[in-house]
Chain A
Amino acid sequence: MPVVLLVLTEADLADLPGGVDPKAIDRVFVWTGDARMLLSIIKLVEDAKNVEHDTSTAGVRVIILVEDSARRYSSFLSFLYQELMVQSESLVAEGVNELHRLMRMRARPKILLATTTKKRSPPIAVFPNTWSP
C-alpha cells in the first residue's frame, strides 16, 4: 500500500524525529490547496505501477521528471497531469468509436518522478523500452 505524506510546508519535515523514513513513506507532497494535487498523487502511483507493462506491451511514452524539491514537484505534477488530460481528451474526441476513444484515453503518457540519481546509472535505465524511438 503506497503511503504519501502531505505537509503544509517543507519546514514541517524538520519536526519529524529522524526525518522522513523512506521505508514508511513513499513520497512527500507539499499541499498547495489545489485539489488537482490529489489526482496527480494517485496518477503518479498508478503510473509507477503500470509503466513497465504499458511501455513494453503498448509502447506508451513516458515523461521523466527529475526534481528533488517536494514543494516544486507537488505543484508541477498537477500542471503536467492537467496538460496530459487535456491532450488526451482532445484525442478522445477524435476517436472513431467508443473502444477507440477508450484506448486513446488509456494511452496517455506516463510520468515518472525521480528525486535523486545514482552516480553511474540513470533512473530510466530500468525501462529501456521507454526511450526507444
Chain B
Amino acid sequence: MISDVRFPRGGEEDPLAGFALAQAIRADNPELPIVLESADAENAMRAVRHGLHYLDKTSPNFLRTLRVF
C-alpha cells in the first residue's frame, strides 16, 4: 500500500489519516508492505517511530526511491 498521510477520513480532513489507516491494516496483516508519503518533514520521524517506510513527496528522487521499495 502506498498512502498519503493527510486525506479525508470519515468525511473530515485528517492530518494523520495515513497513520491511522496503516495502524488498522497492520493490526490485521503485519506483513503487508506499507509506504507513507508526505511533504511534512515531521511525518518522517513519526513514520520511523511507527516502523513504517516513508517517502518525501517533495524529493526529486521520489519516483526512483519508490521503484526500489
> CB within 8 Å of B: which residues of A?
63-69, 72, 79, 83, 115-119, 122, 124, 131-133
Q: Apart from A69-B4, A115-B7, A131-B29, list 13 A-B contacts with CB within 8 A.
A: A65-B3, A66-B2, A66-B18, A83-B67, A115-B8, A116-B11, A117-B10, A117-B17, A117-B21, A122-B21, A131-B25, A131-B32, A132-B29
In chain B, what residue has the closest Cβ to A116? B8
Chain B CB count within 10 A is highest, among A69, A119, A122, A124, for A122
Chain B interface main SS type: mixed
In chain B, what residue has the closest Cβ to A62? B1
> CB within 8 Å of A: which residues of B?
1-4, 6-11, 17-18, 21, 24-25, 28-29, 31-32, 57, 63, 67
Asked if A65 and B2 make an inter-chain contact with CB atoms under 8 angstroms apart, the answer reads yes
Q: List A contacts of B57 (CB < 8 A).
A: 72
